[in-house]
Amino acid sequence: MDGFFEEIGRGFFRGVGYILAEVFFRTICYWVGWPICKLVTLGKYPSASKVIYLDEHRSRADGAWCAVVGLLALIVLALYLLGQFSYKA
């Protein structure tokens, strides 16, 4: 009986983790990366039709580049704030 509840708990926390990862990656990272992509590509990517991110008719790969760019920007910002880029002789 302990194994049953253990599996239910494991599945529950896996689901919560998946939802948090989706919210973080697909919304926060996307909206951090969106202006960076617009700036670097001089406004060509993502196109105006792809600005609305949660459209059911598009594939999930659309906008993934903006989310990856946003994730990298957040990682670089965190490393900078932690002092990893300061040089001390």
Residue 86: pLDDT above 70? Answer: yes
What span, in angstroms and rounded, lies between the C-alpha atoms of 61 and 64? 5
* Residue 37, both tokens: 């992509």
9 membership: H or E segment, kind and range: helix 2-23
Tens-place pLDDT, residues 56-77: 444 555 578 888 999 999 999 9
Mean pLDDT score, 25-42: 88
Q: CA–CA distance from 84 to each of 14, 17, 33, 58 (Å)?
A: 32, 28, 22, 39
pLDDT tens string 40-57: 888 777 766 555 555 544
Scanning the structure block, which residue is given the tokens 């105006």?
A: 48
Question: Token pair of 58, please?
Answer: 């598009």
35 contact partners, CB below 8 Å, separation of at least 6: none
Q: Which residues lie closer than 8 Å to 34 by C-beta, 6 or more apart? A: 46, 51, 66, 70
